[in-house]
Amino acid sequence: MKKEPEKTLLEEYLEDPEFAKLMARGELIMEVTETLCELLEKEKVSRKELADRLGKSKGFISQLLNGGRNLTLRTVADILHVLGYKLALSPYKVTRQRQEMNIIEFQTRQTNLKRPKLNWGAFKLSYAA
């Protein structure tokens, strides 16, 4: 009888629906933020110039792009508009294999580590309003 490979800590975490939801949020936020930063660089638009175009402060833009403020769909649309872009979404069905492709794990020499009990109620992402 074949022995199943032992699950990694990350695989165990991903089985938890709350953790998986938090990971999905974080991935989307990171992807949108990186895309906006790439567009600013491509268009040679500084954060100050973007702030001026939006009628906002440079600090507000920095907070948005550094993750310190909630990046709403309205704000993303406004930023894309002033840069002359539109967004096309391409949703795809998430499969177990697809999730694993996006994850990098570092192997350690330690084995048989005790797995911590997870309490996602204590772990929350918060966004400034």
In total, the chain counts a number of residues equal to 129
Give the Cβ contact number of residue 110 at 10 Å: 6
Cα Rg for the chain, rounded, in angstroms? 19
Q: Compute the Cα dihedral for 28, 34, 38, 41 and give only its sign.
A: positive
The pLDDT assigned to 20 comes to 86
pTM for the whole structure: 0.66
pLDDT digits (tens), the chain, 129 positions: 677 778 888 788 888 888 888 888 888 999 999 999 999 999 999 999 999 999 999 999 999 999 888 889 999 999 999 999 999 888 888 776 555 555 555 555 544 445 555 555 555 544 444
DSSP state of 120: G
Name all domains of the chain by residue range, CATH numbers in brackets: 9-89 (1.10.260.40)
| CB burial string 25-34: b at 16+ within 10 A, e below | eeeeeeeebe
Q: Within 10 Å of residue 119's Cβ, how many Cβ atoms?
A: 8
In this prediction, residue 119 carries a pLDDT of 55
